[in-house]
Structure 1
Amino acid sequence: MSVNIYVATSAEDLKKFPDFAIVKIEGQKSKTLRQFYEHIAEVLEFPDYFGFNLDSLDELLNDLEWIDDHKLALYFCHTEDFISQERNPEKLSNLLHMLDATAEDWKWLDEDEEVFAKELVFIFEDSPRLRDLLKQEEIGFAFISRDADSAG
């Protein structure tokens, strides 16, 4: 599997994705999973049928037909706050695994399917909490900056 999750050590790192539409997900607006669902639904302009749960999020991120851009990067900033007030820590782990799998799924889209292919990546602002969780969950990631540590 290739890398689908990147860690940015500064906002300058985003310049390494010049062909991507970058959508910002604010960690301060996503301290719980419900807040995250509400925030991502707003910034990605999800259809009205979004169910505000992981299965529905997975379904919509595997669709994205209402988004014209073919290359999309979701940039999560303030990751120290991201899903920081959720009582069940497994929920963040499940979300990260789903995001990684969804980005990978787009790479293997069958040419016969009547879906316009997208390239989807997830970029997280660096924080020790996020790095530790990605390593603990064995989710592959890479630092964007050449000066930072190598891939996790």
Structure 2
Amino acid sequence: MEKTNFLLAKNEVNPAKVLPGWYVAVIDGKQATTLKAFYEQIAQALDFPEEFSHDLESFDEMINDLEWIEEEKVAIYIRNSNEWLSREKANDRLLTIIDLLDATAEDWKWMDEEEEEDVSRKELLVVIDDTPRIRTLLEDQEIPFRALD
């Protein structure tokens, strides 16, 4: 079975126990109800360099780099996912972030050998608390996911 980029957690998990050896960035959906707040949390959780501009283009650039993180495996754990970006007027921004994370995780998988010499290769995984809202969004975007064992 192909590895999915998204894992859905039934109950709040301890990412360090579930993903030993991974760099785990924890995002609290209750504190990231807007895109601005999400950018602030992700920048802190992934220790983005100072040049991060707190916008989508800069987020895309940073999440596709991650060279400053020593670990090859990086997980983003979004707890309280029902509240995550819930104050945004439409789901468009949330869908854009989800699509970008999925595309980035896929890009890391298919990095060719020539690119690997120039860039430290990473594996990206997104763990999200399982809610009907998140499940529906992933299904509507046709993004594969599986339950966290």
TM-score between both structures, scaled by the size of structure 1: 0.88
SS of residue paired to 1:3: coil
SS of residue paired to 1:112: helix
Partner of 1:33: 35
Partner of 2:22: 20
- Please say if 1:137 is aligned against 2:138: no
RMSD: 1.6
Counterpart CA distance in 2 for 1:13 and 1:129 is 22
Mean CA deviation greater in 27-36 or 108-117 = 108-117
Q: 1:53 offset after TM fit, Å? A: 1.4
Contact 1:50 1:57 in 2 (8 A): yes
Partner of 1:70: 72
Q: 1:2 offset after TM fit, Å? A: 4.5
Residue 109 and residue 81 in structure 1: after superposition, are their counterparts in 2 closer, same or farther (change >3 A)?
A: same
Mean CA deviation greater in 122-131 or 6-15 = 6-15
Mean CA deviation greater in 104-113 or 59-68 = 104-113
Partner of 1:6: 7
Structure-to-structure mapping, 1:118-133, within 5 angstroms: 118-133=122-137
Contact 1:28 1:78 in 2 (8 A): yes
Which residues of structure 2 form unaligned runs of 5+? none
Q: 1:22 offset after TM fit, Å? A: 1.7
Partner of 1:116: 120
Mean CA deviation greater in 86-95 or 7-16 = 7-16
Counterpart CA distance in 2 for 1:12 and 1:81 is 17
Counterpart CA distance in 2 for 1:53 and 1:30 is 14
Encode CA deviations 1:76-123: one digit per residue, 9 max, x unaligned: 000011000001321111111111000111111122221111111000
Quick one: which amino acid aligns to residue 69 of structure 1? E
Contact 2:108 2:121 in 1 (8 A): yes
Q: Which runs of 4+ in 1 moved over 3 A?
A: 11-16
Which residues of structure 1 form unaligned runs of 5+? 146-152
Give aligned-pair identity as a percent.
Answer: 41
